[in-house]
Amino acid sequence: MNLNHDSSTIIQKTRDLCQAILEDPGYLDMRNSIELFMADEAAKEDYRWVVEQGEYLQHKQQMGSSLDDREIQEFESRRSALVANAKAKAFLDAQQSIQAVHESVGKYVAKTFELGRLPQSSDFESESCGPSCGCH
């Protein structure tokens, strides 16, 4: 398998997949949501704060320190405000959707290598946690 040149069948099919993703109406909606969010400096700053503070609180807890009620309340309040912002909510939803596509494509490729054939839907059924788990 030589993937060092653009004429490789695998590279061409990968490019075809990428083009199909770019042309999908759902992708176009996600991209628009991301661009609207990125143009909103206040929403980006709120998002940055929530991410950084969430990481800080998680690290603090993992190190065995107790979390201050004031810290928790401020974090929860700012996170709720972030999710209440329509642009930020659409951005977060777009991130989740893009991640789901990425994971799905990755699972198909990994399963192809594992099985040595094109996977069928039934090949993924044993990996499911059940209909209510939200992982599929």
Is the full-model pTM beyond 0.85? no
13 Cβ neighbours under 8 A, 6+ residues apart: none
Which tokens is 115 given? 């099985």
Predicted confidence (pLDDT) at residue 23 exceeds the cutoff of 60:
yes
Cα separation, 11 vs 133, in Å, equals: 34
Cα separation, 18 vs 68, in Å, equals: 46
Domains and CATH numbers, the chain: 13-124 (1.20.1500)
Q: What pLDDT shows up at residue 136?
A: 46
pLDDT tens-digit readout, 27-71: 999 999 999 999 999 999 999 999 999 999 999 999 999 999 999
Could you give the angle at which helices 86-115 and 41-62 cross, rounded to 10 degrees? 60
Higher pLDDT, 71 or 129: 71
